[in-house]
Structure 1
Amino acid sequence: MLVPMNVFAEESLGEFSFDPSKVSHPYDMINSKGEIIKYEEFNDGISQLINEIPSVQGTGEISPVQIDSILEGHSFIDITPPPVVINDSTARGPLQISPRIVIGDDSRKKVENTKEMPYSAITYIEINWPDGKGGSCTGSLIGKNKVLTNGHCVINPETKETITSAKVYPGVSNSVGLFGSYNVNDYYVAANWASTGSSSEDFAILVLDVSKDNKQAGDVAGTFGIKQVNNLLNQNIGIYGYPGDLMEASGEISQFGTRGNITREDASVAFYTIDTAPGQSGLALLNTDNQIVGVHRGSFVINGNPMNGGPKMNSYMFKFVSKALE
């Protein structure tokens, strides 16, 4: 779920295209130039004994950036993946994705201090499309110059258009990016996302330039650890990001979030009734140790029951992300 806006960052990303005939695995890695890294290549190179990467605290050195102008004159409406039907043998009927969802009473609260982990490493992302329209997503720093977010934050699954530019602001509070701003110079997506827009592979890794004062985002704001998981059912997760509805109400760009439990899952997607809204696409699912165990994608309806969900950090996604961190 993205929050639209019409802000123009410096254009740095070219047109995206790739040859589907050269893809051999759903998790083949494709960059913004359409270059393909085969899944079997990095699968063999990553030890089966490694199933987590630790978090790192940032130095806290900051170069604040005022960014309230991005809110001026813009309404927050949904730009989301189109409705899809996923065959689900455990459900009585089809599982569909819907635009957004706040379920019952809104449990999201404003994060008052984004100077420290984990909140410092949660990023506000502004993006621009070829038609001049813009939007925003949430991401998470996982390396010195790497951010984990959604695939639909870089590729529109319906039109196949890709972003022309993007900028990342870690630890935003009250419309101030406390750790500077960073242009995106490349990204990686899974082949199956680029081809089909599948929920299971709706994630992307953004590659960042250094800031104007030559800082790496992860060095100053910190980086999240990632953890490979199989079963998440009933586990508690935190969901923190930049929801358009609450930012519109406050008139400022700030972080909001809450915690709750995973209530349903399949082999690749976790589901929950934790509140979200447009702008929170790409936020991390954080376990109780604040490790990333998945990425929020959007809202679902299962047999008439509303849920939120996103791909979980299974072995395929873990290896993909680990390769991107090299």
Structure 2
Amino acid sequence: MKKNMFLVVFLFAFLLVPISAFAEGSLGEFNFDQKKSSHPLDKVNSKGEVIKYEDYSKKSIDLINETDSFKGSGELNPIFVGDLLEIDFQELIPPRINDDNRKREITPFVIIGPDGRAMVNDTTMFPFSAITYITLEWADGSRGTCTGTLIGRDRVLTNGHCVVNAQTQRGIVSATVHPGVSESTAWFGAYNAIDYFVTSNWINTGSISEDYAVLVLAQSNGRHAGDRAGFAGIRQVNNILNQNIGIFGYPGDLIREDEAINQYGMRGNVTNEDSQIAYYTIDTSPGQSGSAMLNTNNQVIGVHSSGYTDRDNNPLFNGGPKMNNFMFEFVSSAIN
């Protein structure tokens, strides 16, 4: 990355949707006391409770650098979610970003050149079955959508900004996860979130390097989401420059064009990186916040977060935190 390049960074904040078809129940009120956190990677749950980094670090992941994938039983439990299209999309003001003190602006999407995204025709097949459409609600009644990926029987990886607004330090009050949606049908059912985990540094700074979160899901009809739809393993990585990755999710712009909720994505190479963030020219748009970076073995090696433009708002590239040892420790501990 050229040092003299002026970059504008923005979060692909999820799209606000004024709808009523959300999960019953609540995650409760998020109350975070910064004084109780002593490490940037302390794990904070949906109640604001702090799990110390030293208490979970290397406890359950000693000597491993990846977790197993599971393709799922394929058992279908279809639910029509077309009523989610009866919406008036609005842009959400994103949390603050403290990345190199770069100026922040919001733009609708970052498409680099011709749009290379393609619709996934069969979302009942792994790994597309494990890519989830997430509906969210905040305490003030605002609602929105993100993308996530099943990484365990009842765990979903997404963005931190999909569950906690780092500017207001307020969390979501409810979320529903729909694996493998296409043709406005959630083929494997719907699952309510009962908890989530983010890092204390995300809450305090809104830094892209910690823009990740793990949702915990309740069962539906006696079954876990991952048992039906499968889940992707996560893999710790260091240098992934020029490696091929895929990013799949639920982009709001194409969903509006289709007038149906469908999954889209594309593959491309990592074009730049630092120790925490991977950059690429894979096309994305709002609604794809939280989409996994999938390697050629369909393992999760990072999570899409943001887009970058120059002074004139010309798109340059997209990016998000990669699964370095710190992110791997955090996410692995949240799975167990």
TM-score, with length taken from structure 2 = 0.91
- Match in the other structure for 1:316: 326
How far apart are the structure 1 equivalents of 2:160 and 2:58?
24
1:223-302 → structure 2 map (5 Å cutoff):
223-301=231-309
Unpaired runs of at least 5, structure 1 = 89-93
State the shift of 1:24 in Å.
1.6
State the shift of 1:277 in Å.
0.4
Return the letter of the residue paired with 2:294. L
Return the letter of the residue paired with 1:40. E
Matched residue pairs, number? 319
State the shift of 1:87 in Å.
2.1
Return the letter of the residue paired with 1:231. N
**Any idea what SS the aligned residue of 1:163 has?**
strand
- Match in the other structure for 1:7: 19
1:99-110 → structure 2 map (5 Å cutoff):
99=107, 100-110=109-119
RMSD: 1.7
State the shift of 1:33 in Å.
1.1
**Any idea what SS the aligned residue of 2:172 has?**
coil
- Match in the other structure for 1:79: 92
Q: Percent identity?
A: 51
* Cα-to-partner distance string for 1:90-124 (whole Å, 9 max, x where unaligned): xxxx4756443111100000000001100000000
State the shift of 1:51 in Å.
0.4
The answer to whether the 8 Å contact 1:95/1:300 transfers is: no
- Match in the other structure for 1:17: 31
The answer to whether the 8 Å contact 2:17/2:90 transfers is: no
Would you say 1:30 and 2:40 are equivalent positions?
no
Unpaired runs of at least 5, structure 2 = 1-11
Would you say 1:166 and 2:178 are equivalent positions?
no
Range that drifts further, 295-304 or 273-282:
295-304
* Cα-to-partner distance string for 1:143-163 (whole Å, 9 max, x where unaligned): 111100001111122222211
Q: 1:199 to 1:258 in 2, by over 3 A?
A: same
The answer to whether the 8 Å contact 1:85/1:96 transfers is: no
Would you say 1:197 and 2:206 are equivalent positions?
yes
- Match in the other structure for 2:120: 111
How far apart are the structure 2 equivalents of 1:79 and 1:189?
20
- Match in the other structure for 1:65: 79
Return the letter of the residue paired with 1:173. S
The answer to whether the 8 Å contact 1:84/1:97 transfers is: no
Return the letter of the residue paired with 2:97. V
The answer to whether the 8 Å contact 2:96/2:205 transfers is: no
Q: 1:133 to 1:303 in 2, by over 3 A?
A: closer
How far apart are the structure 2 equivalents of 1:51 and 1:196?
27
